[in-house]
Amino acid sequence: MTTVSELPMATTRVKGCCQELSEPLPAAVVDEAAALLRALSDPTRLQMLAMLAQADEPICVCDFTAAFDVGQPTVSHHLGKLRDAGLVTSAKHGIWAFYALSPKLPVIAQAVLAGLL
């Protein structure tokens, strides 16, 4: 029977010995990408973004409310997340807010939309 003292000792591994890696990305870049991907991680928000990409003019919150059969606060919450991520812009007309794709849509979001549409 083999005892613990008879087991071969593991050789000391040199850290990073297998392959040279590129430098990690700057934290600010990674944080921004992660925030953008969080905004895109909800199916309803992806649907809204796709609808905005296909629309000829800004879309009213009330139209999203009807399309998704959810309340206005839920729609506004999702649109707020998209706005905070820089994916959409909004303009108030009377009591309603109208949303459009941001003219400065990040490349990651453009790629996601291209894959959806």
- Each residue of 45-54: pLDDT tens digit? 999 999 999 9
Answer whether 69's CB lies under 8 Å from 107's CB.
Answer: no
What's the predicted TM-score (pTM) here?
0.74
Structural domains of the chain ordered from first start: 28-116 (1.10.10.10)
Number of Cβ within a 10 Å radius of residue 59: 21
Question: Residue 4: pLDDT above 90?
Answer: no
pLDDT band at residue 18 using 50, 70 and 90 as cut-offs: confident
Answer whether 24's CB lies under 8 Å from 87's CB.
Answer: no
Edge-first strand order for the sheet with 88-93 is 59-60, 96-101, 88-93
